[in-house]
């Protein structure tokens, strides 16, 4: 099962942003449980490779969902538990997340 549609994935991989505001998506997005969000993030990273925080947030929002906390806080918690790895990318101007 694919989390994202082909068109959404192409937009993310090319570094383009989808046309929506974060507040519009957050207000209508369903909050996932921690275990659901962890599974989705791991699936995203395994299908696409390393992604920035914004790319992960956009991908999750594109299916009408959102993380239980702010995305960066949730990803940091996953990193501290060893589920994902994270590093600062000067090239992408932010955090880049991947699988260990």
Nearby residues of 11 by Cβ (< 8 Å), 6 or more positions away: 17, 18
pLDDT at 82 over 50: yes
Q: What is the CATH number of the domain that holds 37?
A: 1.10.10.10
pLDDT at 2: 45
Q: Is residue 68 part of a domain?
A: yes
Higher-confidence residue of 92 and 48: namely 48
Does 64 have pLDDT greater than 50?
yes
- The pLDDT value recorded for residue 6 is 47
- Is residue 13 predicted with pLDDT exceeding 70? no
> How would you list the strands of the sheet with 51-52, edge to edge?
51-52, 94-98, 85-89
Whether the per-residue pLDDT at 32 is higher than 90: the answer is: yes
Number of structural domains (the chain) is: 1
25 in a domain, yes or no? no
Residue 51 lies in a domain: yes
The token pair at 47 is 């299908």
pTM, entire model: 0.72
């Amino acid at each position: 099962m694919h989390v994202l549609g082909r068109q959404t994935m192409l937009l993310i991989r090319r570094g383009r942003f989808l046309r929506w505001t974060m507040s519009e998506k957050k207000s209508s997005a369903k909050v996932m449980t921690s275990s659901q969000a962890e599974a989705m993030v791991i699936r995203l990273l395994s299908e696409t490779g390393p992604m920035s925080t914004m790319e992960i947030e956009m991908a999750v929002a594109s299916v009408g969902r959102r993380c239980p906390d702010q995305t960066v806080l949730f990803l940091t918690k996953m990193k501290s538990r060893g589920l994902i790895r994270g590093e600062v990318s000067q090239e992408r101007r932010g955090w880049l997340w991947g699988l260990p």
